[in-house]
Amino acid sequence: GQFGPYGGRYMPETLVPALDELERHFKAALADEDFWQAYRGMLVDYVGRPSPLFLAQGVTQELGGAQIYLKREDLNHTGAHKINNCLGQILLARRMGKRRIIAETGAGQHGVATATVCALHGLQCVVYMGAEDMARQSVNVRRMRMLGAEVRVVHAGTATLKDAMNEALRDWIAHPADTYYLLGTGAGPHPYPWLVREFQKVIGEETRQQIAAKTGRMPDAMVACVGGGSNAMGFFYPFLELEDVRLYGVEAGGLGLASGAHAASISAGHEGVLHGCRSYYLQDGDGQIVNAHSISAGLDYPGVGPEHALLHDRGRVDYVSVTDAQAVAAFHWLTRKEGILPALESAHALAYVRELAPRMARDQILVVCLSGRGDKDLDTVTQFGEEV
Ligand SMILES: CC/C=C(/N=C/c1c(COP(=O)(O)O)cnc(C)c1O)C(=O)O
């Protein structure tokens, strides 16, 4: 694999030419300064980068510990970090002459970002989305369709992200020549985990420059939520070499790890293969993938990217989890304290910040990746409150 024993491309033979073609074009793009100039230009002029690094004084005072900075990926165009990856991959798709773009989505943020770059470039867009996720992220379904994408409902399995990814891969296997699969997280067959990290590391590169400019130092701790792992990996990657910077990846603890209803692939899973990639997955004794659960559609996936699996084994990143209830509480907390509505996915990172910050000294620095905005989650959060 590309990440120690993890990664690889465990896919049907019919996809090998498409994966080889993608890797060849990505390597050529990596060496093409014009490609990166075009990509970086769009990040500034279209996405609105650099995203702010905001010192959240309200929550810092309340918790009485570390200085808490928020990396505001929620302020990007389309409302999350997903656009960073989509802008890079759509330029690749054009280099490859592909006119039909497909994607999977769970929270709908990746789906909206894919539909956005397809509208921008006049390309056909098909997004696969589980029926469960279409219901709980309905505002994003409407945005995708308004942007001209065809949203295809997936009823199989739990009708969530894993099932949407199954259908997207089946589509690609059936149309490898004319179709580009715009994969939305740091998972899937090689070269996707590497490629997505390269298009998300701008988050961490900006953070490193911003925190140095604001404080003259590096952070003592960084926190990000982990679904497939792309916002966390993009955020952490430029800091991996700085051993004194503690890194925390927060998985979805759902109804609690003991309940079995969660999506904590590293905390409660083990090595296996899914969607073409060797990594950590939630599996039963026979190696069958078990259903994941999370209140947040974007974390509701029974696996994690291979680079996180390696960083876990090496002990470079601590992987923790918080429950649905803790995430919802953190959603209300940031909203009422800082006037910022976080995505439920990002609220998992914030819930862990509430535990970690008080354990740190006042002169220490904690940075958290606010991966997206919470407009899409208002109904979910309201309904959760009624159930309690
Ligand atoms: C690609 C499937 C995941 C999706 N979203 C995942 C997500 C995540 C988790 O995905 P990763 O960063 O890749 O772990 C975190 N924050 C927000 C705002 C998200 O929307 C999506 O479909 O929008």
Range 158-178 burial, b when 16+ CB lie within 10 A, else e: bbbbbbbbbbbbebbbeebee
- Secondary structure class of 339 (helix, strand, coil): coil
Q: Does ligand 1 lie within 6 Å of residue 274's CB atom? A: no
Q: Which atom of ligand 1 is nearest to the CA of 129?
A: 22
Q: Does ligand 1 lie within 6 Å of residue 161's CB atom? A: yes
Cα angle 228, 307, 265; round to 5: 45
> What pLDDT does 385 receive?
76
Which residue, by CA, sits nearest to atom 19 of ligand 1?
298
Tell me if 162 sits within 8 A of 301, measured CB to CB. yes
Phi/psi at 347 (5° precision): -60, -25
Q: Which of 71, 82, 98, 376 is catalytic?
A: 82
Phi/psi at 137 (5° precision): -125, 45
Q: Which residue positions in the chain have pLDDT lower than 50?
A: 388
CA distance 240 to 90: 28
The pTM of the full predicted model, rounded to 2 decimals, is 0.98
Segment holding 79, helix H or strand E = none
> What pLDDT does 386 receive?
64
Which residue, by CA, sits nearest to atom 8 of ligand 1?
298
Task: Tell me the CA–centroid distance for residue 107 and ligand 1, in Å.
Answer: 6
Q: Does ligand 1 lie within 6 Å of residue 346's CB atom? A: yes
Q: Which atom of ligand 1 is nearest to the CA of 79?
A: 18
Q: Does ligand 1 lie within 6 Å of residue 200's CB atom? A: no
Pocket test for ligand 1, best of 185, 265, 317 (most atoms within 8 A of CB): 185
Q: Does ligand 1 lie within 6 Å of residue 275's CB atom? A: no
pLDDT tens digits for range 112-134: 999 999 999 999 999 999 999 99
Q: Is 243 exposed, middle or buried (0-12, 13-18, 19+ CB in 10 A)?
A: exposed
Task: Tell me the CA–centroid distance for residue 189 and ligand 1, in Å.
Answer: 18
Tell me if 243 sits within 8 A of 315, measured CB to CB. no
Please report where in the chains the tokens 């798709």 appear, as a residue. Answer: 93
Q: Which of 51, 71, 98, 104 is catalytic?
A: 104
Q: What's the distance, CA 383 to chain centroid?
A: 24
Tell me if 229 sits within 8 A of 186, measured CB to CB. yes
Q: Which amino acid is at 231?
A: N
Pocket test for ligand 1, best of 231, 248, 340 (most atoms within 8 A of CB): 231
23 is catalytic: no
